[in-house]
Amino acid sequence: MKLSAPLYALKREAKALSRTESIPLHAALDRIARREGFQAWSLLMARAAARLDARDLHAALEPGDLLLLGARPGQGKTLMSLRLAVEAMRQGRPAFFFTLEYTPADVAGRFAAIGEDPGRHAGLFAFDCSDEISAAYVVERLADAPRGTLAVIDYLQLLDQRRDKPPLMQQVAALKAFCRTSGVTMVLLSQIDRSFDPATRPCPGPQDVRLPNPLDLSLFDRTCFLHGDEVRLGARG
């Protein structure tokens, strides 16, 4: 089903509806989704994410790659990362999801939204929401992971929030070095700066990544940015 407008425009319309009718944003989003032929906004987003072919993105990655996957909230980066995890598991490879944001129930709901059940893949999926998540923690957790394992970290900026952890640049460099030696493929979800304006550019890019502290984005082997119906895969670094 083709949407009447890009996702960002529908979301903007929902925000306006929320203000003018004094209803919660989630209710406004669901109303817009029903108009578009979906029972809820989450189902509309799942269908939109399905058009962003995770198989092609997964095929573009090599063991040991470090991928930056960036998008504004609600644009499908978590769904895309879970689809990448599913692609890895379909090939018999483990998949890990490290998060400081989601609960197990949240992730189960995201899997359900894309019509997947990680339980089908013989225990290949692992969820970790420890408060200790950092580069060192992830490296230790994945120390015995076989080559080709896919790991998602949700999200890049949260690695930078605790003063007892190394600077973000140092942590990302450590993750890159680990990926190189282990063959683990790692996906770091990233926030996009609020200054990004989809009215001027259809999709964000590296210049739009929100970075409170310095980070050399050339540490990433690939970048991928999502917005609405757009997906932009950067050239190999």
Decide which of 19 and 51 is more confident: 19
Q: Looking at residues 202-210, what average pLDDT do you find?
A: 95
Digit-coded pLDDT (tens) for 30-72 = 999 999 999 988 788 766 655 557 887 898 899 999 999 999 9
> Checking phi first, is residue 6 left (phi over 0); if not, alpha (psi -120 to 50) or beta?
beta
* Percent of the chain whose predicted confidence (pLDDT) is above 70: 96
95-99 and 150-154 beta bridge pairing: parallel
Q: Residue 104: what pLDDT?
A: 93
Whether the CB-CB separation of 54 and 231 falls below 8 Å is answered with no
HEC assignment per residue over the chain: CCCCCCHHHHHHHHHHHHHHHCCCHHHHHHHHHHHCCCCCHHHHHHHHHHCCCHHHHHHHCCCCCEEEEECCCCCCHHHHHHHHHHHHHHCCCCEEEEECCCCHHHHHHHHHHCCCCHHHHCCCEEEECCCCCCHHHHHHHCCCCCCCCEEEEECHHHHHCCCCCCCHHHHHHHHHHHHHHHCCEEEEEECECCCCCCCCCCCCCHHHECCCCCCCHHHCCEEEEEECCEEEECCCC
Model confidence at 187: pLDDT above 60: yes
pLDDT at site 113: 87
The pLDDT tens digits of the residues spanning 68-98 come to: 999 999 898 999 999 999 999 999 999 999 9
pLDDT digits (tens, 9 = 90+) for 211-236: 989 999 999 999 999 988 788 888 87
pTM of the model: 0.79
Count of CA atoms in the C-beta half-sphere (13 A) of 168: 18
Residue 56's closest CA among 80, 26, 20, 31? 80
Sign of CA dihedral 7, 10, 16, 20: negative
Mean pLDDT of 8-31: 91
Q: Is the pLDDT of residue 183 over 60?
A: yes
Residues spanned by CATH 3.40.50.300 within the chain?
Answer: 54-233
Which residues sit opposite 151 in a β-bridge?
Answer: 96, 186
pLDDT of 172 higher than 70:
yes
Q: Of the CATH numbers 3.50.50.100, 1.10.1840.10, 3.40.50.300, 3.30.420.40, which one belongs to the domain with range 54-233? A: 3.40.50.300
Residue 158 or 56, more confident: 158
Q: For the segment 118-139, what is each residue's pLDDT rounded down to a tens digit? A: 999 989 999 999 999 999 999 9
Model confidence at 17, pLDDT cuts 50, 70, 90, reads very high
Cβ-based neighbours of 19, under 8 Å, separated by 6 or more: none
> Is the model's pLDDT at 1 over the cut of 70?
no
Report whether pLDDT(153) > 60. yes
- If one compares 94 and 164, the residue with the highest pLDDT of the two is 94
CA gap 211, 76 in Å, rounded: 20
Q: For the chain, give the mean pLDDT.
A: 91
pLDDT of residue 130: 95
